[in-house]
């Protein structure tokens, strides 16, 4: 059953196009993570935050990614990491055109 992982953390930039340029290699590497279907990158220059919303095949894959990602962020000096994992209600999400593709 698919699950959504939400992760947000304090971030001083870059944002927008500069973020896209700086994070292209990292974005490509996320596609190789076990169980990932997709990621939406999130950012708010006004609130000085960044993060993402991910769809994984299962809870175990989301938890493993969260553990690795949190350790990577912590090693970079990031604190205040917020995360949540939710089970996806597939029938209702399909009614609203939720992108659940594998």
pLDDT at residue number 10: 97
Q: Where residue 73 falls among pLDDT bands split at 50, 70, 90?
A: very high
| pLDDT tens digit sequence for 9-61 | 999 999 999 999 999 999 999 999 999 999 999 999 999 999 999 999 999 99
pLDDT at residue number 102: 59
**Comparison of pLDDT for 99 and 17, the residue scoring more:** 17
Q: Which domains does the chain have, with CATH numbers?
A: 3-95 (3.30.70.100)
pLDDT at residue number 101: 74
Mean pLDDT throughout 47-76?
96
Q: Are strands 82-87 and 49-56 parallel, antiparallel or unpaired?
A: unpaired
Q: Does residue 55 contact residue 90 with C-beta atoms inside 8 Å?
A: no
């Amino acid at each position: 059953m698919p699950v959504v992982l939400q992760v947000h953390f304090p971030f001083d930039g870059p944002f927008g196009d500069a973020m896209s340029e700086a994070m292209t290699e990292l974005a490509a590497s996320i596609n190789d993570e076990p169980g990932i279907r997709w990621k939406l990158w999130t950012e708010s220059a006004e609130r000085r935050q960044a993060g993402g919303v991910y769809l994984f095949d299962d809870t175990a894959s989301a938890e493993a990614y969260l553990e690795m990602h949190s350790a990577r962020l912590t090693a970079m000096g990031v604190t205040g990491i917020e995360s949540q994992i939710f089970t996806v209600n597939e029938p209702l999400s399909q009614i609203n055109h939720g992108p659940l593709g594998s």
